[in-house]
């Protein structure tokens, strides 16, 4: 592991450690009045049951929907933003790294993410997010076809459908080139790097802009005994990377952002316009002459809006850097076999692209 990573601090929800003015909510407190206080800017503390918090949030939603009736995109956005703001004024108290309210879930992140402080207030929606992330982390995500169970760290992207992993596995099984060095951009919860290792790659430089991803994959490598195979790095694209790789793999975000991106999970889903041109330009410099660039992608953007650009096709059409060696597509299966797909994602396909540097550009 890169030495600087030992000092990497995870991103975590903000907490309040000082005494603040707040209203106490008990089972006989008027819910509607409490909600009005939250909308007006006052903190409300859930005192008794965890479920009281759920009840208050449901009432907040009902109240705001009376004001935000516009069902169009902007109206919905305004509603979500008003809900987000007011709901974060609903607090729960943590003492000794545990939620004080009764019948509350046990959430290990309250200890893992806040080693230096055991007593604080935290917003109820953040607790819900931590609870869900803790369940996934404890239970793990089993990728049966690969025989791997992932335990994603808080705030890290993890796959819930595995079709693109199957495509990558299929390609890896046929790959006959050198397996000395690989680079993974955007390692997330580590799955593609683990596939590379399982298929005999010796040294992997794996990087991500999300600190939590790097912290999580470091833990996972320890658990899986992969520490000797991987160098982890926190940074943007090929920052700090002086490797020339036999294979570079990137499963990038699949949707073009129409908003300013936030750090963390937002960057796993959405990309800024410049991401792909920057990626291809830098990738060329980090690929061995015989190297392969493998991108996992999806037609999701085109399914949502058929006029959407496809950044890999654009690269091939507009630049003279790479040639296409392979393009595989696969239907996305429903997340559960029991659910028939009737949504817009029915036509969704995952894609695997293999590009090679055009000879004149290959750097020796």
Ligand X SMILES: C[S@@+](CC[C@H](N)C(=O)[O-])C[C@H]1O[C@@H](n2cnc3c(N)ncnc32)[C@H](O)[C@@H]1O
Pairing between β-strand 245-250 and β-strand 120-123 as defined by DSSP bridges: unpaired
The least CB distance from residue 187 to ligand X, in Å, is: 6
* Near ligand X in 156-175, by CB under 6 A: 157, 159
DSSP symbols for 255-289: EE-SSPPPSTTHHHHEE-TTHHHHHHHHHHHTEEE
* Near ligand X in 327-346, by CB under 6 A: none
The least CB distance from residue 186 to ligand X, in Å, is: 2
Q: Which two tokens stand for residue 242?
A: 């002086």
- Binding window for ligand X (CB under 6 A); candidates: 79-87, 208-216, 218-226, 353-361: 208-216
State yes or no: residue 188 binds ligand X (CB under 6 A).
yes
Among 63, 210, 229, 233, interactor with ligand X by CB under 6 A? 210
Closest listed residue to residue 270, CA positions, set 260, 278, 279, 280: 260
User: How far are the Cα atoms of 65, 83, 87 from residue 58, in angstroms, in the given order?
Assistant: 11, 11, 10
State yes or no: residue 155 binds ligand X (CB under 6 A).
no
State yes or no: residue 218 binds ligand X (CB under 6 A).
no
* Cα–Cα dist 348/331, whole Å: 6
Q: Answer whether 231's CB lies under 8 Å from 210's CB.
A: no
State yes or no: residue 312 binds ligand X (CB under 6 A).
no
- Binding window for ligand X (CB under 6 A); candidates: 172-180, 185-193, 222-230, 346-354: 185-193
Q: Residue 83 or 279: which CB sits closer to ligand X?
A: 279
Among 89, 181, 267, 321, interactor with ligand X by CB under 6 A? 267
Among 123, 203, 251, 299, interactor with ligand X by CB under 6 A? 251
Among 64, 107, 237, 288, interactor with ligand X by CB under 6 A? 237
Q: Answer whether 254's CB lies under 8 Å from 350's CB.
A: no
Q: Residue 10 or 252: which CB sits closer to ligand X?
A: 252
Q: Answer whether 254's CB lies under 8 Å from 301's CB.
A: yes
How many residues are present in the chain? 364
The least CB distance from residue 107 to ligand X, in Å, is: 23
State yes or no: residue 299 binds ligand X (CB under 6 A).
no
- Binding window for ligand X (CB under 6 A); candidates: 4-12, 117-125, 201-209, 350-358: 201-209
Q: Residue 113 or 192: which CB sits closer to ligand X?
A: 192
Q: Answer whether 275's CB lies under 8 Å from 250's CB.
A: no
Which helix or strand (DSSP H or E) is residue 246 part of? strand 245-250
- Binding window for ligand X (CB under 6 A); candidates: 6-14, 58-66, 131-139, 202-210: 202-210
Q: Residue 100 or 141: which CB sits closer to ligand X?
A: 141
Which helix or strand (DSSP H or E) is residue 329 part of? strand 322-331
State yes or no: residue 236 binds ligand X (CB under 6 A).
yes
- Binding window for ligand X (CB under 6 A); candidates: 11-19, 111-119, 248-256, 282-290: 248-256
CB burial of residue 69 (10 Å; 0-12, 13-18, 19+):
exposed
Among 127, 172, 245, 268, interactor with ligand X by CB under 6 A? 268
State yes or no: residue 300 binds ligand X (CB under 6 A).
no
Integer Rg of the chain from CA: 23
State yes or no: residue 63 binds ligand X (CB under 6 A).
no
Q: DSSP strand E in 8-79: where? A: 22-25, 43-46
The least CB distance from residue 311 to ligand X, in Å, is: 13
Q: Answer whether 313's CB lies under 8 Å from 353's CB.
A: no
Q: DSSP strand E in 1-147: where? A: 22-25, 43-46, 90-95, 98-99, 120-123, 141-143
* Cα–Cα dist 86/38, whole Å: 5
Q: Which residues make up the interface to ligand X (CB under 6 A)?
A: 157, 159, 185-188, 191-192, 207-210, 213, 236-237, 251-253, 267-268, 275
């Amino acid at each position: 592991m890169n030495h600087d990573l030992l000092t990497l601090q995870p991103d975590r929800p903000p907490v309040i450690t000082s005494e603040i003015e707040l209203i106490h909510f008990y089972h006989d407190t008027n819910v509607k009045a409490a909600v009005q206080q939250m909308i007006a800017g006052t903190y409300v503390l859930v005192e008794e049951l965890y479920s009281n918090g759920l009840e208050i949030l449901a009432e907040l939603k009902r109240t705001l929907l009376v004001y935000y009736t516009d069902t169009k995109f902007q109206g919905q956005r305004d509603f979500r933003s008003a809900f987000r703001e007011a709901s974060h004024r609903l607090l729960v108290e943590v003492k000794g790294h545990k939620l004080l309210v009764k019948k509350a879930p046990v959430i290990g992140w309250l200890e893992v993410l806040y080693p230096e402080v055991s007593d604080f207030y935290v917003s109820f929606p953040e607790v819900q997010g931590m609870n869900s992330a803790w369940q996934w982390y404890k239970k793990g995500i089993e990728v049966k076809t690969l025989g791997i169970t992932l335990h994603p760290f808080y705030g890290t992207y993890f796959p819930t459908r595995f079709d693109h992993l199957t495509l990558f596995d299929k390609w890896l099984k046929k790959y006959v080139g050198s397996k000395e060095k690989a680079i993974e951009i955007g390692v997330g919860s580590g799955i593609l790097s683990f596939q590379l290792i399982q298929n005999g790659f010796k040294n992997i430089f794996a990087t991500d802009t999300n600190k939590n991803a790097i912290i999580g994959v470091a833990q996972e490598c320890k658990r899986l005994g992969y520490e000797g195979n991987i160098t982890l790095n926190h940074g943007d694209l090929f920052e700090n990377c002086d490797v020339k790789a036999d294979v570079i793999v990137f499963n990038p975000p699949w949707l073009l952002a129409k908003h300013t991106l936030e750090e963390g999970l937002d960057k796993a889903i959405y990309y800024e316009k410049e991401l792909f041109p920057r990626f291809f330009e830098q990738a060329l410099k980090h690929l061995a002459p015989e190297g392969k660039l493998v991108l996992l992608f999806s037609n999701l953007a085109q399914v949502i809006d058929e006029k959407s650009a496809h950044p890999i096709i654009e690269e091939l059409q507009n630049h003279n850097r790479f040639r296409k060696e392979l393009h595989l597509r696969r239907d996305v299966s429903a997340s559960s076999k029991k659910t028939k797909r009737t949504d817009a994602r029915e036509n969704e396909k995952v894609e695997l692209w293999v590009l090679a540097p055009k000879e004149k550009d290959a750097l020796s």
